Amino acid sequence: MNNSLDIKAVETFLYEEAALLDRPDLDNWMKLFTEDGTYWMPAREDQLDALNHVSHMYDDRVMMEIRRRNFVHPRASSKDSPVRSSHLLGNIRHQGKTKQGDLRITCNFHVVMWYREEQRVYAGTCEHHLVSTADGFRIRHKRVDLINPEAPQKSLIIYL
């Protein structure tokens, strides 16, 4: 454990990130990532590898930008229905450092999502690898593990 870590500052950062996804404001959300930042939603429990095993999502900044452009495109019919989320984060913990020296933060999440006249629930754990910069934290990697990654999933048109 790194005693000098201001866990409050980490929590504030995660809450702000979640608030951007709630709206959703993908433009500003993407800016929280480093240039080499990635977002990963594995398709099985304890998945080790994003390349040799399939995932629900695994985006770098280029794919995030393509997804963002598609998200606001007037001809993307799956985006005709509004989507709104409510993230609740808890059990936020500092888990030491990654090999690259980034902060490893884990938390639990519950997301209630409104989409296509239906309210649904996602739950699981998140892992953030955070870099401290002069402008505050940046995300090098965000991993989202659903509690039911192998279950049939409905269309998910937004990041959790």
Partner 1 sequence: MYNRISTTEIDSLVEPARLHKRLYIDRDIFELEMERIWGQAWIFIGHESQVPNTGDYFTTNITHKVPVIMVRDKEDQVHVLHNRCAHKGAKLVENREGNVRGAFRCPYHGWSYKHDGTLIKIPNEAGYEGTGFDLNDACNNMQPLAQVESYRGFVFATLSSQAPDLKTWLGGAIDCIDNLCDRSPDGEVEVAGGVLRYEHECNWKFFLENLNDTMHPMVVHQSVVQAAKDYIDSLPESATRERSEAEIILPFGSSYENFEDSGITGFRYGHHYDGGKTSIHANYTVMPEYHSRMVASYGEEKAREIYSFNTHNTLFYPSLTIKTAVQNIRVVRPVAVDRFIVETWSFRLKGAPDEMLQRTLLYSRLVNSSAGMVGPDDLEVYRRAQEGLESSGSDWVEYHRQLGRDQQLEDRVVGGGTSDLDMRTQYKAWKEFMNGEIYR
Chain positions contacting partner 1, by CB under 8 A = 41, 43-44, 47, 51-58, 62-63, 65-67, 69-70, 73-80, 116, 150-157
Instruction: Read off the tokens for 61.
Output: 């900044």
H runs (alpha helix) in 7-138: 7-22, 26-30, 61-71
Q: In the complex, what is the shortest distance from the CB of residue 96 to partner 1, in angstroms, rounded to a whole number? A: 28
Other Cβ atoms less than 10 A from the Cβ of 39: the count is 22
Other Cβ atoms less than 10 A from the Cβ of 109: the count is 20
As a whole number of angstroms, the distance between CA 15 and CA 20 comes to 9
Q: In the complex, what is the shortest distance from the CB of residue 89 to partner 1, in angstroms, rounded to a whole number? A: 20
Q: In the complex, what is the shortest distance from the CB of residue 122 to partner 1, in angstroms, rounded to a whole number? A: 11
Contact 123, 21 (CB under 8 A): no
Query: Which run of H or of E encompasses 159?
Result: none
Q: In the complex, what is the shortest distance from the CB of residue 27 to partner 1, in angstroms, rounded to a whole number? A: 14
Q: In the complex, what is the shortest distance from the CB of residue 148 to partner 1, in angstroms, rounded to a whole number? A: 10
Other Cβ atoms less than 10 A from the Cβ of 92: the count is 17
Beta carbon nearer to partner 1, 55 or 125: 55
Beta carbon nearer to partner 1, 76 or 147: 76
Instruction: Read off the tokens for 88.
Output: 């609740």
